[in-house]
Amino acid sequence: MIRIQTEPFDICAEQEALCRDNPRIGALVTFVGLMRDLNAGVGVARMTLEHYPGMTEKALGALAAEATERWALEGLRIVHRVGTLEPLDPIVFVGVVSRHRGEAFRACEFLIDALKTRAPFWKKELTEAGERWVEERATDLEAARRW
């Protein structure tokens, strides 16, 4: 299940929906990304996330399909926010369930690494020095290459 939305999400509700009525699940692994108030040494007051409707959902669906092909999963959820966010706002929820923890950990880590480098989102920060677009980080690209 993939959703892109402007409103906040309920982390507990997302986890519950992943596990509901499936006694085969032995592992639930989640990642929640939060907006920071500092990026590259500069204070950030607000961030705006933009996406291309239709294209973004298709890209996230392809990532989910790839994870499902690579690991034995019982389910996954990706919820990504767009719009204006402030520090500590949740940006993304990635949840994976499987029979065993190793599969769930690897799939969740793959998904978040892939989201950072392969998902069509654009971020603009309002910093103490003005507005700026967020560029890809070398560390994110390096993490994604492992997969």
pTM for the predicted model, two decimal places: 0.92
Beta-carbon contacts of 83 under 8 Å, excluding residues fewer than 6 positions away, are 6, 48, 49
Per-residue pLDDT tens over the stretch 7-45: 999 999 999 999 999 999 999 999 999 999 998 889 999
Instruction: Pick the closest to residue 77 from 117, 30, 33, 122 (CA basis).
Output: 30
Q: What is the pLDDT of residue 40?
A: 85
Contact 1, 73 (CB under 8 A): no
**pLDDT, mean of residues 127-144:** 86
* DSSP 8-class letter at 141: H
Say how far apart CA 67 and CA 28 lie, in whole Å.
15
Q: Calculate helix-pair angle for 138-145, 101-118, nearest 10 degrees.
A: 140
**Mean pLDDT, to the nearest integer, of 128-134?**
91
Structure tokens at 39: 């990026």
94 band by pLDDT with thresholds 50, 70 and 90: very high
71 phi, psi to nearest 5 deg? -130, 150
* CATH number of the domain residue 141 falls in: 3.90.1170.40
Domain count, the chain: 1
Domain of residue 22 covers 2-145
pLDDT of residue 145: 85
